[in-house]
């Protein structure tokens, strides 16, 4: 079993079964959108996979907490709860939205930046600054938000 | 900035500031990070005092990195991490500036002799990305272009730009419309005397005056003929004009599209773009020549009719016009619904064409994997979506026309009722009532067709919007305002600390490299290490996000794009041949080339012999993707194409990756001719292709990790050594197991150190 530790510098330190240590490793989900819990890889600072973790909840408490902490720092996909207003129905359009991480604005550069996922009503919206916003289920949003978003779909 | 805590030490100056817009838990929340000449300070928005303060003189360092749209600044002391701030990439420019200021101030504190310059950058370049600034402006077009202003909603009015050249013809058309409409309004007016002076007196026992009747009938005939002639002239004239407007729009849109950078084409789907420039412009033309024209006529008719009606009898006119506001209101309410509906239909229609555009070029893959049923299902689904959206819209739409008709009928009823009442009171004559009914018969008839304008206008506006979306898109590779003439380039390329970001992913970071004129550079590295991106940056298919690329000492952003690219020869892994003859394909970059030049280029590219074997020699047609020629043959044609323009800068992007060894040897011979005396940047997965390279540049994850000759790099036992070993190992394995044909080929390709030594000397 591999070991994980947090260095005072804030980086994660990985010690493999062979005793080799790696500084600054990053956990990466293999299917962050369609199956976030299914598979996870610990990748060295050089970008090579060190170990594959099939299920996060099968790991011992200590490793899991460290990985989850690190993921929480790295994963940034605000979920849109409400669309307050949009500047225009053509693009680029500035949206005023409320997310699970507080209110913010995003710039939709082109309609193609809205990606539809196979699940019903699920959307990923890439903002002009490269942040990906998610919409869990568009059909479950309030009427106002739905109406505004419909114009872009 | 206004709510910064005011507490600074005496003689302390703020030199850098960053609005941090995320908190530790990655929630949107504002705080401010400030660097002064003494300290680093942090305050939450609204607070009156600093939440944290660090003095700059105890070995602190500030590290910046970003991932998935979130930038991070980490403050470290020599032993551990002290603080972390996170922000969205909108603040990235500020953050980089802050880090630079931080480092500069720390430096100044360590060695007070060196004064911390507030700003040592060249005022004519952008302080963040070092792109040249437009004259008389300190706002960088490269950094701020992301947030361009949205186009206006009144898209159709923007068509005026294309209509302006035809304004006199349009004016003429308008006059004709006016005249022909007036002519059509004469006949109902003549029914008044026909009724009141001829028919009703006859019923009351008076004789008909034949001369008078003939006069009236001739008037009717004359008005009819006039309306016919004028109507023909204006329809013909305006159809011609609208066809030209649409053609101008189409060509302008296509020209603009060609000027856009590659990433635009990467993000858009071919089917969608084809639809925008093809069918949308056609739809606009139909709209202008048919629907808009009809609508203008209708409005004129409405106006003129109202004037006539009011002049005859104001009261009856008022009653007649009463339903008009209702219908106008109805049109308005339905408008919104229909507009969104039509936009949706357009998008769904784009999906349908996208399936075609995906499947037809990829038909070999579809068939090879026996996925016809899946593609068919996709097409069915796209069509079903199309049907669903149309059905939904048609529900509203189909209700619309009958309602207008119903309102028309009710309006007529009101006029009949009120008219009879007025006649009975003796206020108006029967003739006036008949004339009114004749007028409003047309009048409401026109209202009905006018209501159709709602849908067609919306369709046309949606189409126009999609075209203007293309036209409004500013190229990410902007043309400089005052271009520097390229002249005869020497071919010295200097990469100065360049960085490139694709979306939120940083593809190239802080890369610097000097390439001498005529030098051959081999780019080596795993796939995804940024080799192709680097080449795209040098070709200026994209612009760097940081730093600059200079050719002969001039930033390539200061050249005109086309002028600059004329000096670049590009040979790609998958050569693209256009539909046309082989000669035309070779001469693609130099359309005026003589036959002698073409043949010379083909000879040098070792393509001459096989071209002559073709039944029609240089006049043989090659298909859309050069069908009928092998990969190696196509590649040699594309090499001839590059040779013909005699470029100073040559780029070989995996030029021999998709062919077998035998063919590779042929291509290699052709390439050796091409490389002679030109600055060459070659990407190759097979290290053998690079045996003639003067220097090898090893890239890993967007940065240069090693530079040197083959021998130097082998001696260093670093990245290159490992790559080389890995290829050699695979070759050994393949030697033992002959089934792996492709790997076996590698055995012949690994450069022998001795051979390389000769090449390098």
Q: So what's the pLDDT on residue B743?
A: 42
Residue B139 confidence (pLDDT) above 70: no
d(CA B641, CA B585): 7
Average pLDDT over residues B349-374: 84
pLDDT at B144: 45
Subunit contact B267:A47, Cβ cutoff 8 A: no
Query: What pLDDT is attached to residue B232?
Result: 92
Chain B residue with the nearest C-alpha to that of A152: B344
- Does residue B122 have a pLDDT over 50? no
Q: How many residue contacts between A and B have a Cβ separation below 8 Å?
A: 100
The pLDDT of residue B222 is 92
Query: Cα separations (Å) of B227 from A84, B172, B214, B299, B589?
Result: 54, 16, 20, 17, 56
Which contiguous run of DSSP H or E holds residue B262? helix B262-267
For residue A93, the chain B residue with the least C-alpha distance is B150
Quick check: B196 and B430 in contact, CB under 8 A?
A: yes
Please tell me the distance in Å from B700's CA to the nearest CA on chain A: 9
- With beta carbons under 8 A apart, name residues in chain B contacting A111: 347
Cβ proximity of A34 and A26 under 8 Å = no
Query: Domain ranges in chain B?
Result: 14-120, 246-472
**What ipTM was predicted for this assembly?**
0.84
Is a pLDDT exceeding 50 seen at residue B508?
yes
Distance to chain A for B503, nearest Cα, Å: 5
* Minimum distance, in Å, between the CA of residue B148 and any CA atom of chain A: 7
Q: What is the pLDDT of residue B119?
A: 45
pLDDT tens-digit readout, B243-270:
888 888 889 888 888 888 777 777 677 7
B655 vs B663: CA distance, rounded Å: 11
* A23: pLDDT strictly greater than 90: no
User: Which of B29, B267, B501 lies closest to A110 in CB terms?
Assistant: B267
What does the pLDDT average to over B220-231? 92
Distance, in Å, from the CA atom of B111 to the CA atom of B116, rounded to the nearest integer, reads: 10
Q: Which residue has the higher pLDDT, B112 or B404?
A: B404
Contact A131 B81 (CB under 8 A): no
Over 70: is that where the pLDDT of B473 sits? yes
Top residue of B63, B77, B83, B90 to mutate, by most chain A CBs within 10 Å, is: B90
- Cα(B146)–Cα(A94) distance, rounded to whole angstroms? 12
The pLDDT value given to residue B218: 93
Q: Which residues of A touch B705 (CB under 8 A)?
A: none
Residue B557 to residue B550: CA distance in whole angstroms? 9
Of B74, B465, B701, which has the smallest distance from its Cβ to A10's Cβ?
Answer: B74
pLDDT band at B136 (very low <50, low <70, confident <90, very high): very low
Q: What is the pLDDT at residue B141? A: 46
Mean of pLDDT values over A101-119: 83
Distances (CA, A) of B420 to B86, B199, B417, B433: 81, 18, 5, 8
Q: How far is B84 from chain A (nearest CA, A)?
A: 9
Class of domain B246-472: mainly alpha
Residues B392-418 have a mean pLDDT of: 81
Q: B81: which chain A residues are within 8 Å (Cβ-Cβ)?
A: 8-10
**Backbone dihedral region for residue B458 (phi beyond 0: left; psi -120 to 50: alpha; all else: beta):** alpha
Contacts of B148 in chain A (CB under 8 A): 92
Is pLDDT above 70 for A4? yes
> Considering chain B, what is the average pLDDT of its residues?
79
Higher pLDDT, B535 or B668: B535
DSSP states of B172-187: HHHHHHHHHHHHHTHH
The model's pLDDT over A39-94, given as tens digits with 9 standing for 90+, comes to: 888 888 877 888 888 888 888 888 888 888 888 877 888 899 999 988 877 767 88
Q: Rounded distance, CA B271 to CA B18, Å?
A: 43
The fold for domain B14-120 equals PH-domain like (2.30.29)
B343–A112 CB contact, under 8 Å: no
**Across B528-542, B602-616, B738-752, least confident range:** B738-752
Using a CB cutoff of 8 Å and minimum separation of 24, what contacts does B25-33 make?
B25/A72, B25/A101, B26/A72, B26/A73, B26/A76, B26/A101, B26/B70, B26/B86, B27/A101, B27/A102, B28/A78, B28/A99, B28/A101, B28/A102, B28/A103, B28/A104, B29/A102, B31/B85, B32/B1, B32/B4, B33/B73, B33/B85, B33/B98
pLDDT in tens, B674-733: 777 888 888 887 777 777 788 888 888 888 888 888 888 888 888 888 888 887 776 666
Q: What pLDDT digit, counting tens, does each position of A116-138 carry?
A: 887 778 888 888 777 889 898 88
Question: Do A90 and B153 make contact, defined as CB atoms within 8 angstroms?
Answer: yes
Q: Taking residues B490-516, what's their average pLDDT?
A: 83
Burial A15-44 (b: 16+ CB within 10 A, else e): eeeeeeebeebbbebeeeeeeeeeebbbbb
Alpha-carbon gap, residue B27 to B70, rounded angstroms:
12
- CA nearest neighbour of B359 among B380, B384, B343: B380
Beta bridge partners of B494: B514, B550
Q: Is the pLDDT of residue B25 over 60?
A: yes
Give B26's contacts in chain A (Cβ within 8 Å): 72-73, 76, 101
Between residues B435 and B527, the one the model is more confident about: B435
Using 50, 70 and 90 to split pLDDT, how confident is the model at B6? Answer: low
Candidates A75, A93, A132; nearest CB to B150 = A93
The answer for B721, left when phi > 0, alpha when psi is -120 to 50, beta otherwise, is alpha
Chain B residue numbers with beta carbons less than 8 Å from the beta carbon of A150 are 340, 344
Query: Chain A contacts of B347, Cβ < 8 Å?
Result: 111, 153
Over residues B479-505, mean pLDDT? 81
User: Which residues from A are below 8 Å from B80, CB to CB?
Assistant: 8-10
Classify residue B252 by its DSSP letter.
H
Q: A59 vs chain B: nearest CA distance in angstroms?
A: 24
Going by C-alpha positions, the residue among B577, B579, B568 that lies closest to residue B642 is: B568
Q: How far is B86 from chain A (nearest CA, A)?
A: 9
Closest approach of A75 to chain B, Cα-based (Å)? 8
Calculate ∠ Cα B640-B747-B745, nearest 5°.
55
Lowest mean pLDDT across A81-85, B1-5, B66-70: B1-5
Task: State whether A47 and B465 contact (CB < 8 Å).
Answer: no
Closest partner residue to A129 among B28, B76, B90, by Cβ? B90
First to last CA, chain B: 61
Weakest-pLDDT range from B19-33, B125-139, B544-558, B683-697: B125-139
């Amino acid at each position: 079993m591999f070991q994980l530790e947090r260095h005072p510098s804030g980086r994660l330190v990985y010690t493999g079964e062979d005793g080799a240590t790696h500084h600054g490793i990053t956990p990466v989900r293999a299917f962050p959108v369609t199956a976030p819990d299914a598979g996870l890889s610990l990748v060295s600072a050089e970008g090579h996979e060190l170990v594959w973790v099939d299920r996060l909840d099968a790991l011992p408490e200590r490793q899991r907490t460290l990985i989850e902490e690190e993921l929480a720092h790295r994963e940034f996909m605000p979920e849109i709860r409400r669309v307050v207003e949009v500047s225009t129905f053509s693009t680029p359009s500035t949206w005023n939205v409320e997310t699970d991480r507080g209110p913010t604005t995003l710039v939709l550069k082109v309609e193609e930046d809205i990606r539809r996922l196979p699940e019903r009503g699920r959307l990923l919206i890439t903002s002009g600054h490269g942040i990906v916003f998610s919409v869990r289920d568009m059909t479950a949003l309030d009427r106002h938000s739905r109406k505004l978003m419909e114009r872009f779909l | 900035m206004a709510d910064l805590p005011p507490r600074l030490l005496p003689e302390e100056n703020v030199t850098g500031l960053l609005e941090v817009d995320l908190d530790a838990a990655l929630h949107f929340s504002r705080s401010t990070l400030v660097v002064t000449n003494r300290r680093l300070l942090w305050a939450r928005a609204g607070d009156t005092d600093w939440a944290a303060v660090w003095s700059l003189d105890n070995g602190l360092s500030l590290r910046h990195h970003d991932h998935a749209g979130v930038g991070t600044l980490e403050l470290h002391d020599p032993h551990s991490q002290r603080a972390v701030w996170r922000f969205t990439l909108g603040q990235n420019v500020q953050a980089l500036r802050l880090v630079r200021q931080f480092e500069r101030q720390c430096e100044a504190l360590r060695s007070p002799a060196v004064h911390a310059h507030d700003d040592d950058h060249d005022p004519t370049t952008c302080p963040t990305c070092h792109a040249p600034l437009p004259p008389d402006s300190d706002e960088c077009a490269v950094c701020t272009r992301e947030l361009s202003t949205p186009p206006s909603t009144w898209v159709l009015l923007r068509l005026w730009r294309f209509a302006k050249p035809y304004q006199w013809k349009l004016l003429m058309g308008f006059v004709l419309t006016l005249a022909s409409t007036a002519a059509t309004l004469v006949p109902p007016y003549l029914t008044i005397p026909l009724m009141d002076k001829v028919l009703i007196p006859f019923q009351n026992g008076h004789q008909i005056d034949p001369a008078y009747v003939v006069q009236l009938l001739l008037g009717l005939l004359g008005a009819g003929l006039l309306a016919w002639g004028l109507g023909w002239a204006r329809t013909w004239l305006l159809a011609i004009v609208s066809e030209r407007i649409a053609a101008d729009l189409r060509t302008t849109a296509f020209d603009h599209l060609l000027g856009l950078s590659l990433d635009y084409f990467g993000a858009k789907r071919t089917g969608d773009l084809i639809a925008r420039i093809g069918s949308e412009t056609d739809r606009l033309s139909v709209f202008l020549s048919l629907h808009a024209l009809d609508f203008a006529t209708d409005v004129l008719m409405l106006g003129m009719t109202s004037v006539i009606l009011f002049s005859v009898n104001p009261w009856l006119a008022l009653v007649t016009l009463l339903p008009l506001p209702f219908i106008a209101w109805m049109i308005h309410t339905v408008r919104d619904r229909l507009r969104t509906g039509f936009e949706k239909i357009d998008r769904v229609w784009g999906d349908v064409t996208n399936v075609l555009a995906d499947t037809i070029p990829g038909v070999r893959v579809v068939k090879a994997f026996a996925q016809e049923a899946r593609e068919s299902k996709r097409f069915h689904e796209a069509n079903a979506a199309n049907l669903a959206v149309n059905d939904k819209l048609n529900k509203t739409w189909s209700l619309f026309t009958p309602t207008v008709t119903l309102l028309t009928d009710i309006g007529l009823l009101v006029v009949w009722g009120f008219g009879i009442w007025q006649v009975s009171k003796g206020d108006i004559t029967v003739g006036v009532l008949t004339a009114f009914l004749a007028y409003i018969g047309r009048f409401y008839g026109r209202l009905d067709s006018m209501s159709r304008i709602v849908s067609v206008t919306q369709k046309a506006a949606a189409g126009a919007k999609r075209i203007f979306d293309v036209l409004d898109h500013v190229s990410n590779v902007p043309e400089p305002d005052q271009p520097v003439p390229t002249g005869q380039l020497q071919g010295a390329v200097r990469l100065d600390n360049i960085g490139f970001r694709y979306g939120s992913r940083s593809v190239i970071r802080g890369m610097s490299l000097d390439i001498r004129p005529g030098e051959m550079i081999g780019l080596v590295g795993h796939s995804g290490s940024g080799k192709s991106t680097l080449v795209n940056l040098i070709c200026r298919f994209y612009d760097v996000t940081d730093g600059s690329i200079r050719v002969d000492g001039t930033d390539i952003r200061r050249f005109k794009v086309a002028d600059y690219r004329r000096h670049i020869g590009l040979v790609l892994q998958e050569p693209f041949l256009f539909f046309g003859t082989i000669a035309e394909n070779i001469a693609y970059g130099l359309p005026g080339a003589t036959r002698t030049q073409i043949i010379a280029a083909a000879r040098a590219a070792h393509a001459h012999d096989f071209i002559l074997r073709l039944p029609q020699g240089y006049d043989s047609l090659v298909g859309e993707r050069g069908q009928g020629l092998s990969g190696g043959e196509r590649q040699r044609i594309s090499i001839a194409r590059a040779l013909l323009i005699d470029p100073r800068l040559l780029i070989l992007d995996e030029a021999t990756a998709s062919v077998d060894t035998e063919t590779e040897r042929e291509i290699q011979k052709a390439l050796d001719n091409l490389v002679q005396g030109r600055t060459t940047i070659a990407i190759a997965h097979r290290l053998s292709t690079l045996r003639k390279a003067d220097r090898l540049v090893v890239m890993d994850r967007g940065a240069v990790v090693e530079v040197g000759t083959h021998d130097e790099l082998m001696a260093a036992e670093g990245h290159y050594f490992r790559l080389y070993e890995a290829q050699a190992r695979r070759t050994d394995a393949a030697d033992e197991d002959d089934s792996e044909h492709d790997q076996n080929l590698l055995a012949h390709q690994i450069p022998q150190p001795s051979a390389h030594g000769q090449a390098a000397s």
